[in-house]
Structure 1
Amino acid sequence: MSLVTTIQPDGTPTWIDLRVPDLDRALEFYNALFGWEYAPDSAKTGLGTVCLLRGRPVAAIAQAPAIAQAAPATTNPDWTMYFATADCDGTAKRVSDAGGSVLMAPTDIGEHGRAALAEDPVGARFGLWEARAHVGCEVVNEPDSLVRNDLVTPDPEPARAFYTSVFDYTLDGNKTLPDLDFTFLRRPDGHEIGGIFGFPVAPRSIWATTFEVADTDAVAGRAVAAGGTADTPEDTPYGRSATLKDPFGVEFSVITRPA
């Protein structure tokens, strides 16, 4: 599915946003990288500056507070992924009951929806999004849009227990990469929403964000030219991928999937 026009089932990654110290610089970088355009005056909506692909929302970027300590709960040096929920308050309570922390209590974002920020027991941050007028990413799984989120953590077992408790996911092994400590997360209807990767040498736990692109090597080159960095692209069983960083050190991945 590429075009999203309806509210997604609970537990589906549905929106992403990023806070940066220099908004104008970030907008230039991601425009150069993905060709994103930006909705006029969207920064005033509470969502941040909404990034558009073919005129449809795919992400948001916002100016971080001048002093990070002024808003520690909403300051995160990574792309933040939001899970869809029909009941933000109820899901926030499930987060707490399962051993996680609610960093920002459920809050209305105008007419767009209701949001919360949380942290799981292994320290990875994520959001909750109860959609109203704003369903989330309206373009996914195609070049220059979000294609995947996976939790990378040195301590995967508490994370698996947490997410199955909060969202009623089931766990499924990865037969393609049997030597890795990786499990797929599936909604109760069987739909795969991502996975949990146990990586002992990971410096911290993070929900890693991956964007699909038409040409990984070309995008890696554009990232460097625009002031970011890029690891050498490599082929994987799922496509050609590379790890990039934007000018502020925010890490994310890109992948060109097989046709």
Structure 2
Amino acid sequence: MLTTNYVPGVPSWVDLGSPDVARAAEHYRGVFGWTFHPLGPHAGEYGVFRHDGRTVAAAGPLTGDDARSAWTVYFQTADADTTAAAVAEAGGEVRVDPFDVFTNGRMAQLTDPGGADFAIWQPGDTAGLDEVTGPGSLGWVELQTPDPAGVHDFYRAVFGWTVTTVPADADDGAYTVFTPEDGDESTSFGGVADLQEGERAHWLPYFEVADTDAAVSRNAALGGRAVLPTADLAGVGRMAWLEDPFGARCAVITSSPA
């Protein structure tokens, strides 16, 4: 499970790129109860989402003419420059070279060989999100890619992740999960799924909610839609994939009791 013990390789930040940050902030306030806090003139329109006073995500304007609205998952690193070089060596793309975000940390924007975008975060004053796993916060990340097995070696080389396939049971198929280097089953933070036909590869953040059906209804009422209808996964929880009014996708889940 995710924790705020941000060892190298685990998700430590997630942000939304949107063509209308103010409207997107209102949308997610309605869906999750988040409040949006701009970081000031020096940060442009970028700001953080808070839930019960704790930072759980962030949002900012799109950059680049061909950019589309999407959530980006950031993985922790002790050295952004070294990790970016490892991405290039392993066959990925460095879309934005490492740069400092004031004194908060150092980041880079990257793409894996399957076409999924992600980012890395080398902490400075900001270690990462204030809260994960609890209601209204990030609880899991999932790579949706056209060649799940083909990207295993890439992420092993870049982050040292352990890749484990959970055996199929009577109801669900086998599922591959990621664990940070030197971690164990209790520190797994993400998984891999086959890409849906006609879609592009992406990392999908899952946000924990108290009631998945209610979150799906709120999203629809505010102009979003359900990409994957609500479903129950044995031993995991009740979940759905959502799209906001600008096309950015995330998932919601009400996890089964531990």
TM-score (norm 2): 0.90
Matches within 5 A, 1:108-123: 108-123=100-115
Residue 193 (structure 1) shift: 2.3
C-alpha distance 251-225 of structure 1, shift in aligned 2 (>3 A): same
Give the secondary structure class of the aligned counterpart of 1:44. helix
Unaligned runs of 5+ in 1: none
Residue 40 (structure 1) shift: 4.5
User: What's 1:19 paired with?
Assistant: 17
Residue 183 (structure 1) shift: 1.4
Residue 229 (structure 1) shift: 1.3
CA distance in 1, matches of 2:169, 2:233: 10
Choose 157-166 or 172-181, whichever is displaced more: 172-181
Matches within 5 A, 1:102-251: 102-176=94-168, 180=173, 182-190=175-183, 191-199=187-195, 201=197, 203-230=199-226, 231-237=228-234, 238-251=236-249
TM-score (norm 1): 0.89
User: What's 1:96 paired with?
Assistant: 88
User: What's 2:255 paired with?
Assistant: 257
Matched-pair contact (CA < 8 Å) for 1:150–1:208: yes
Matched-pair contact (CA < 8 Å) for 1:210–1:253: yes
Matched-pair contact (CA < 8 Å) for 2:77–2:122: yes
Give the secondary structure class of the aligned counterpart of 1:79. strand
CA distance in 2, matches of 1:175, 1:221: 33
Residue 226 (structure 1) shift: 1.3
Residue 3 (structure 1) shift: 6.9
Deviations along 1:37-87, one digit per CA (max 9) or x if unpaired, are 12244463369211111212111111224xx42xx5xx3532000000010
Give the secondary structure class of the aligned counterpart of 1:248. coil
Look up the equivalent residue of 1:108 and give its one-letter code.
D
The CA RMSD measured in Å over matched residues stands at 2.1
C-alpha distance 117-76 of structure 1, shift in aligned 2 (>3 A): farther
Matched-pair contact (CA < 8 Å) for 2:21–2:61: yes
Matched-pair contact (CA < 8 Å) for 1:47–1:109: no
Matched-pair contact (CA < 8 Å) for 1:104–1:117: yes
CA distance in 1, matches of 2:106, 2:182: 24
User: What's 1:49 paired with?
Assistant: 47
Deviations along 1:151-178, one digit per CA (max 9) or x if unpaired, are 1111122211100111111211112558
CA distance in 1, matches of 2:229, 2:48: 30
Give the secondary structure class of the aligned counterpart of 1:19. strand
Look up the equivalent residue of 2:61 and give its one-letter code.
Q
Give the secondary structure class of the aligned counterpart of 1:224. helix
Question: Sequence identity, in percent?
Answer: 39
CA distance in 2, matches of 1:38, 1:125: 24
CA distance in 2, matches of 1:84, 1:46: 24
User: What's 1:35 paired with?
Assistant: 33
Look up the equivalent residue of 2:83 and give its one-letter code.
T
